[in-house]
Structure 1
Amino acid sequence: MPYTEDLLKIWQRVIENFGDSMPRATIENMFYDIVVESFDGSVAVLSIHSEYRHSLIVKKYLEKIRSLISEQLGKQISLVFKYSGSSKYYIDQLKLEYNLPGGEPAVRIDPPKAYSGENKEEHTRPVSTLPPCNQEYTFSNFIVGNSNKFAHAACVAVAERPATDYNPLFIYGQSGLGKTHLLYAITNELIKKKPDINIIYTKSEDFTNYLVECLKDRAMDRFRQKFRSCDVLLIDDIQFIAGKDSTQEEFFHTFNALYEEHKQIILTSDRPPSDIKTLEYRLKTRFEWGLIADIQPPEFELRLAIIKKKSEQAGINIPDDVCEFLAENLRTNIRQIEGSIKKLRALSFLTGTDITMEMARGCVAELLGGAEPVSVTVDKIFAAVYKKYGIPKEDILGSRRTKEIAFARHVTSYLIRNITEMSLPNIGKLLGRDHSTIISSIDTIEKKLRTDKIFNIEIEQMIKEVNGH
């Protein structure tokens, strides 16, 4: 399809032309996974898998995209923008339906007609039944693992029975682990069950800013009416109210009013209440009235599942060995993983090649900055084992099975697994052993650690040495 190829060639230039009016990060987040489906010379068909961003792009950017494509092609074209996530599309009463293959409707905008008197805004404003929270975050696409299953279960329970068992619900964990995703998921689930429910989702900074605004306007009744009349209050990053006396005072009374009326309160933080310095004691105790759930950094298996799911959503194929490499190296948070997927997709698209290990290594180096990739850490483990037991890397990787070499091999397996979280099959490949042998090696060391205090100290010292402490 030559026309489609023409559009593919100019698509990157079209997106780059947003650069004068939008930050680069916003452009990448908003448009990175738009797919050019077809172009017949007069009508371009684009699609996106995200219902939320489909609605936002239709509302704010669709006419500009059509205009930029027309400018690049040197002629006016019509644009069809399709939401590919399901059969549901937001179509305003003034929008036209364009029957795509398969009979799915989508939003279409045509070139402006001279002297038509039409209002373009009417053609680009979508219908939405949800408030301006992120509708693409749901419980169904939250990937659950050991590190987050307790917090996920608590949020599901609150969405099913608000203000009953867990009130308040306090979720904590470092940035980028999915706390906000869970807040949005609760919101979307509650609205789906009860569309007229009064929900307020806000960040603590916005709570403070609105309080200051109402204080300046001498309109505290407005503030109290807003926050004390809701059915569910969700506040993200509540730790930022610490040290702000007026904000803490007002939130204390807001909390009490909602709690006494059996309204659900959900809070997130980067630390548990007891660790939030300069937070008033009376607030700390109230935050502990209900349920406190933590989210830990994702374990290897969860990181791997997230990488595969995110790559599927982005419409790209990442080989299994590259997925495992990313999961082994990107251990801090989910945002790192999302950043790597976006980068790999862009590299693959711009170069016209499949995703390779070399691309992944470049992404990891860029994301980790000064941090070391797993391969460097593994070399340090071999060096630490040699320093302690006098067994060189060559013997650990070799076929000799003396008692001393076998023990050093067990220790190496244990350290690689616990320091790098490399998968067991990959440790086996690295050491030239099968999966069951690696499991046996790690079990041997764990049993010895349970009974030998001196050995415990030795292993701790080796871990500190490898980690540079």
Structure 2
Amino acid sequence: MREIFKKTEVKRYMPYLNEIYDIWEMVKRSFNDNEKMPESVTELWFGELEIISFENCEIVFSTNSDFKQKIIKENYLSKIDEKFSGFLGFDVKSSIVFNGTPTDAQQITKQFMGKSQQKKAEEKTESEIKIDPQFYNNYNFEYTFDSFIVGNSNKFAHAACLAVAERPARDYNPLFIYGPSGLGKTHLMSAVVNEIKRKKADLKVVYIKGEDFTNQLIESLAKQEMHIFREKYRNCDILLIDDIQFIAGKNSTQEEFFHTFNALYEDHKQIILSSDRPPKDIQTLEERLKTRFEWGLIADIQPPDLELRIAIIKKKAEQISIELSDEVLNFIAENLRSNIRQIEGAVKKLRALSFINGNQITIEVAKGCLSELLGGAEPVNVTVDKIFTAVYKKYGIKKEDVIGQKRNKEIANARHICIYLIRTITEMSYPNIGKIFNRDHTTILASIDKIQKKVYMDPVFNIEMMEVTKEVTGV
């Protein structure tokens, strides 16, 4: 009886190829999280691997580098099998085939090196070459403008990145994007890289994380190879640094980046930076860098509203071929509010559960499966009174004045802010908000639109709204 069950299970729940693609992303992340492999190294070895088939529990990868084929076979393939098997619940074997013109370690390294270093590399044998991940652009080729879902919370940053990709160093230089982790900053920066490589392939693009920039600087100093470091960063056409806040407090890194910034800016080269906060709020960042970061355009990304979260869930479900009822879809959107990466992870987790266990994704299954992501707690209950209290603390306008009929400038402004916050934080319907303020639907919409525009246009006011929101929600 047990044997029959096993056969049925494998036959019925064998995943589709597009699902294997998704699990491959989970496998790569597992190398980062569980094996402590730096993302730059993961991308170096696995970034260009393509899955070309999945049949009879065997995954076939393709690479255009015979050198990478050899290294992956010898060092990583068994671990990849182990991780795939763990995610799928049955044994998987993988192989890797070479698909391209034979190459060697020197040629792989050469594409990322200056001419002075190429000559040295060519003199070494394959066994002597060590590929340095600092020469690898670790953007994500799947992150494009087409795959980025635009909503009210991110449309300004999206438009700015699109403009920069079309006209580098012409409109917004530097471009500084900020917002909490997991909201799409890396997606937009990668989209810029992909767009430029598609339309302006001759431009030299360098994309690096702030922490890796520091690590590479330290390594270059130790090896007395600062000329190589500076050649890479000061002679590119576009420099993108993700999580630039990591250089704060590191005097040597800030000194080096100050001169790198100046060299690129004076040469009319595009600079794009991202951070989890605006420049002025990055503690221990030198004032001269804060000033330069504010020379161009500052664009923020806010947590997605309900409509955008639903759109993201629908898109992800469509990509990985999973059907979610409106009840389940709304449950995810209403409970996972702040992080797009977490929302997408939840949909993937439900899909994995569906094809491994054969469960239909009911609301009960979703609650059980996502309990860890939800932390076992109910969503934060933000009351309207908390918003009135926070606005009073910030602006000194009492609740009775806000909901009353007075129309002087200060009270009207506080009223608009309260309406905006009630809508964005609690996602209460427009008619219900109207009942609180004894105003009609169109008046409520006008208030929200007024504050929304001010948030996009006024960085100082935008920060005020973030502070009040944090006072209300605690996050």
Q: 2:327 aligns with which of 314, 321, 328?
A: 321
Contact 2:249-2:284 at 8 Å conserved across structures: yes
The CA deviation at 1:343 is 1.6
- Partner residue in 2 for 1:340: 346
- Partner residue in 2 for 1:300: 306
The CA deviation at 1:221 is 1.4
* Alignment deviations for residues 335-355 of structure 1 (CA, whole Å, 9 cap, x no partner): 220121122112212221221
Contact 1:200-1:230 at 8 Å conserved across structures: yes
- Partner residue in 1 for 2:438: 444
Contact 1:35-1:46 at 8 Å conserved across structures: yes
* Alignment deviations for residues 132-189 of structure 1 (CA, whole Å, 9 cap, x no partner): 5311000000000000000000000000000111000000000000000011000010
Q: 2:222 aligns with which of 216, 227, 233?
A: 216
Q: Distance in 1 between matches of 2:245 and 2:33?
A: 26
C-alpha change, 1:91 and 1:247, in structure 2 (3 Å) is: same
C-alpha change, 1:25 and 1:338, in structure 2 (3 Å) is: farther
Q: How many residues align?
A: 353
Contact 1:414-1:441 at 8 Å conserved across structures: no
Q: Distance in 2 between matches of 1:303 and 1:197?
A: 35
Contact 1:381-1:415 at 8 Å conserved across structures: no
Q: 2:378 aligns with which of 361, 372, 382?
A: 372
C-alpha change, 1:373 and 1:22, in structure 2 (3 Å) is: closer
The CA deviation at 1:8 is 5.6
* Alignment deviations for residues 85-132 of structure 1 (CA, whole Å, 9 cap, x no partner): xxxxx95469xxxxxxxxxxxxxxxxxxxxxxxxxxxxxxxxxxx955
Q: Which amino acid aligns with 2:141?
A: Q
Structure 2 unaligned blocks of 5 or more: 1-5, 103-135, 388-418, 448-468
Q: Distance in 1 between matches of 2:155 and 2:168?
A: 19
C-alpha change, 1:183 and 1:362, in structure 2 (3 Å) is: same
- Partner residue in 2 for 1:283: 289
* Matched residue SS, 1:223: helix
The CA deviation at 1:466 is 9.3
The within-5 A match list for 1:44-193 is 60=72, 91-92=99-100, 132-193=138-199
Q: Distance in 1 between matches of 2:300 and 2:92?
A: 54
C-alpha change, 1:309 and 1:35, in structure 2 (3 Å) is: farther
- Supply the RMSD in Å over aligned alpha carbons: 5.0
* Matched residue SS, 2:206: strand
C-alpha change, 1:444 and 1:133, in structure 2 (3 Å) is: same
Contact 1:4-1:38 at 8 Å conserved across structures: no
* Matched residue SS, 1:367: helix
Q: Which amino acid aligns with 2:243?
A: D
* Alignment deviations for residues 320-366 of structure 1 (CA, whole Å, 9 cap, x no partner): 12111111111111022012112211221222122111122224432
C-alpha change, 1:418 and 1:346, in structure 2 (3 Å) is: same
C-alpha change, 1:269 and 1:66, in structure 2 (3 Å) is: closer
Q: Distance in 1 between matches of 2:470 and 2:268?
A: 49
Q: Which amino acid aligns with 2:244?
A: I
* TM-score for both structures, normalised by structure 2: 0.61
- Partner residue in 2 for 1:253: 259
* Matched residue SS, 1:235: strand
C-alpha change, 1:165 and 1:237, in structure 2 (3 Å) is: same
* Alignment deviations for residues 418-455 of structure 1 (CA, whole Å, 9 cap, x no partner): 65326x4xxxxxxxxxxx8547536636879x9xxxxx
- Partner residue in 2 for 1:238: 244
C-alpha change, 1:47 and 1:308, in structure 2 (3 Å) is: farther
Q: Distance in 2 between matches of 1:317 and 1:281?
A: 51
- Partner residue in 2 for 1:392: none
Q: Distance in 2 between matches of 1:58 and 1:306?
A: 39
Greater relative contact order: 1 or 2 (C-alpha under 8 angstroms, separation 6 or more)?
Answer: 2
- Partner residue in 2 for 1:195: 201
The CA deviation at 1:314 is 1.5
The CA deviation at 1:372 is 2.4
- Partner residue in 2 for 1:431: none
**Larger Rg over CA atoms:** 1
The CA deviation at 1:64 is 5.7
C-alpha change, 1:466 and 1:5, in structure 2 (3 Å) is: same
Q: Which amino acid aligns with 2:365?
A: M
C-alpha change, 1:340 and 1:204, in structure 2 (3 Å) is: same
Q: 1:359 aligns with which of 361, 365, 371?
A: 365
Q: Distance in 2 between matches of 1:341 and 1:47?
A: 26
* Matched residue SS, 1:361: helix
Structure 1 unaligned blocks of 5 or more: 82-89, 95-129, 385-412, 425-435, 451-462
C-alpha change, 1:225 and 1:211, in structure 2 (3 Å) is: same
Contact 2:154-2:300 at 8 Å conserved across structures: yes
